């Protein structure tokens, strides 16, 4: 297990009579993606903004790498923490390159180093530097703007990235694509990410750990699997939804129930059209989850279903008996543990 990098130590934020955050104790580990989630007004954004001191705690301390955040000037602290927000907040009078280069400029990098870093980051977030470097934010789509926002936050290579509902304003397709991109980028950069969202699906997809908050209090802090299988209380159970077991299946790779195709069984599938309709049987991509597999199996009238790779070649089979046996084990293994 990696080291703690951000520690909330009895942090409270009081606005007049209201406690936005109430005695929060939370440890976020290095290289993990921690998603803060909860209904509006639960204190998730306030908690995030206290990390880079855009909001100052009323009491308690936040430690980063063991040092209290109020030990250095706020500006200096913030330059070492990437920050991405919902409205993106790109500076419209600056080019993409100037936007990405802000923090390096603030901390005094030489221009040639900034230029090289900007191109490197634009490529990382999937934007061709030659095409986009000199564009202005208004010339970009919402999704492209948010990519630039992520590149900008990574510019000075901060160990921590704060993301406040970064994909909240995007259409569902763009949002999903950017979530995939973030997972890919995170595999490359291995930052500690603190991510605020109100979308449980997004949280389940991105998080190593999810912190569920309600009325300023931390209700449950656990892995996505644990939250779905073992919700701490009625509130969490309701928050994750009645289909939580189905959602949990969405976190399990299809290999768990797949019987690998034997040597001469591979090649073109040709599963017999046992489905009553006579339509071509549904198949499951090898990268899919158990949830997708279940969907295909149901479509096939619970008949054996082929798992295929990117080229459509069968790599394995989902057998009804195996599937049912695996599903039957879950309550014993996951819920009870």
Partner 1 sequence: MRIVRLVGSAAAAIILLGVFFLLEDLHARILLAIWPQYPHALPFQGGSMWQMGVRMVQLVLLSTLLCTAVGIPLGIVATRPRFREEWAPIVDSLVNAGQTIPSLAVVALALPLLGFGFVPALVAMVLYGLLPVLRNTAVALESVDRAQLDAGRGMGMTPGQLLWMVELPHSIPVVLAGIRTSAVLNVGVATLAGLIGAGGFGAAIVHGIDLRVPPLVWYGAVPTALLAVILDFFLRRLEEILTPKGLRLQAHRDG
Tell me which residues touch partner 1 (CB under 8 A): 52, 54, 74-79, 83, 85-95, 102-103, 106, 136-143, 149, 152-153, 162, 171
Of 72 and 313, the one with the shorter C-beta distance to partner 1 is 72
How far apart are CB 7 and partner 1 at their closest, in Å?
Answer: 21
* Total count of residues recorded for the chain: 337
In 38-123, the DSSP E strands lie at: 59-64, 67-68, 81-85
Shortest spacing between CB 262 and partner 1, in angstroms: 48
Helix (H, G, I), strand (E, B) or coil at 188: helix
- As a whole number of angstroms, the distance between CA 165 and CA 186 comes to 17
Beta bridge partner(s), residue 34: 194, 209
Q: How far is the CB of 148 from partner 1 (least distance, A)?
A: 11
- The least CB distance from residue 159 to partner 1, in Å, is 15
CB of 91 to partner 1, least distance (A): 6
- The answer to whether 138 and 189 have CB atoms below 8 angstroms apart is no
Strands (E), the chain: 4-15, 18-29, 33-37, 59-64, 67-68, 81-85, 160-164, 192-197, 209-214, 217-222, 258-260, 284-285, 305-308, 314-318
Shortest Å, Cβ 285 to partner 1 = 28
| Strand-by-strand arrangement of the 217-222 sheet | 81-85, 160-164, 192-197, 33-37, 209-214, 217-222
Looking at the Cβ atoms of 138 and 268, the one nearer to partner 1 is: 138
Nearer to partner 1, 62 or 88 (CB): 88
Tally: H helices and E strands in the chain: 14, 14
Minimum Å gap between C-beta 111 and partner 1 is 16
* Residue whose tokens read 């180093």: 113
CA dist., res. 330 & res. 328, Å (int): 6
> To the nearest whole angstrom, how small is the minimum distance from the Cβ of residue 87 to partner 1?
3
Query: In the complex with partner 1, which residue's Cβ is closer, 129 or 143?
Result: 143
> Is residue 38 left, alpha or beta, with left meaning phi > 0 and alpha meaning psi from -120 to 50?
left
CA distance 169 to 212: 22
Residue nearer to partner 1 on the CB measure, 69 or 283: 69
In whole angstroms, what is the distance from residue 291 CA to residue 241 CA? 16
- Closest to partner 1 by CB, 87 or 241: 87
Q: CA 193, 62, 106: angle at the middle one, nearest 5?
A: 65
Q: Which is nearer to partner 1, 79 or 247 (CB)?
A: 79
Nearer to partner 1, 10 or 87 (CB): 87
Q: How far is the CB of 82 from partner 1 (least distance, A)?
A: 8
Task: Pick the closer one to partner 1 by CB: 137 or 250.
Answer: 137
């Amino acid at each position: 297990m990696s080291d703690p990098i951000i520690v909330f130590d009895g942090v409270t934020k009081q606005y007049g009579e209201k406690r936005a955050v109430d005695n929060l104790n939370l440890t976020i580990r290095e290289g993990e993606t921690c998603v803060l989630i909860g209904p509006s007004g639960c204190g998730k954004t306030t908690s995030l903004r206290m990390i880079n001191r855009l909001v100052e705690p009323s009491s308690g301390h936040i430690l980063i790498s063991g040092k209290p955040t109020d030990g250095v000037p706020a500006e200096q602290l913030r330059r070492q923490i990437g920050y991405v927000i919902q409205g993106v907040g790109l500076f419209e009078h600056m080019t993409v390159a100037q936007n990405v280069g802000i923090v390096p400029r603030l901390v005094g990098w030489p221009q040639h180093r900034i230029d090289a870093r900007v191109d490197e980051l634009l490529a990382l977030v999937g934007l061709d530097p030659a095409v986009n470097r000199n564009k202005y934010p208004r010339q970009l789509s919402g999704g492209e703007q948010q990519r630039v926002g992520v590149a900008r936050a990574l510019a000075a290579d901060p160990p921590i990235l704060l993301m406040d509902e970064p994909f909240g304003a995007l259409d569902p397709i763009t949002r999903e694509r950017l979530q995939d991109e973030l997972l890919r980028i995170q595999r490359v950069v291995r930052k500690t990410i603190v991510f605020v969202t109100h979308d449980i699906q997004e949280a389940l997809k991105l998080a190593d750990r999810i912190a569920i908050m309600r009325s300023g209090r931390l209700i449950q802090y656990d892995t996505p699997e644990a939250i779905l299988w073992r919700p701490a209380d009625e509130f969490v159970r309701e928050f994750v939804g009645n289909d939580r077991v189905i959602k949990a299946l969405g976190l399990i790779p299809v290999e768990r129930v797949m019987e690998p195709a034997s040597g001469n069984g591979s090649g073109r599938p040709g599963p017999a059209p046992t489905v009553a309709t006579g339509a071509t049987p549904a198949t499951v991509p090898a990268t899919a989850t158990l949830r997708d597999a279940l969907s295909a199996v149901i479509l096939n009238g619970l008949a054996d279903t082929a798992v295929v790779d990117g080229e459509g070649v069968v790599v394995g089979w989902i057998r009804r008996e195996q599937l049912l046996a695996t599903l039957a084990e879950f309550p014993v293994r996951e819920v009870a543990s």
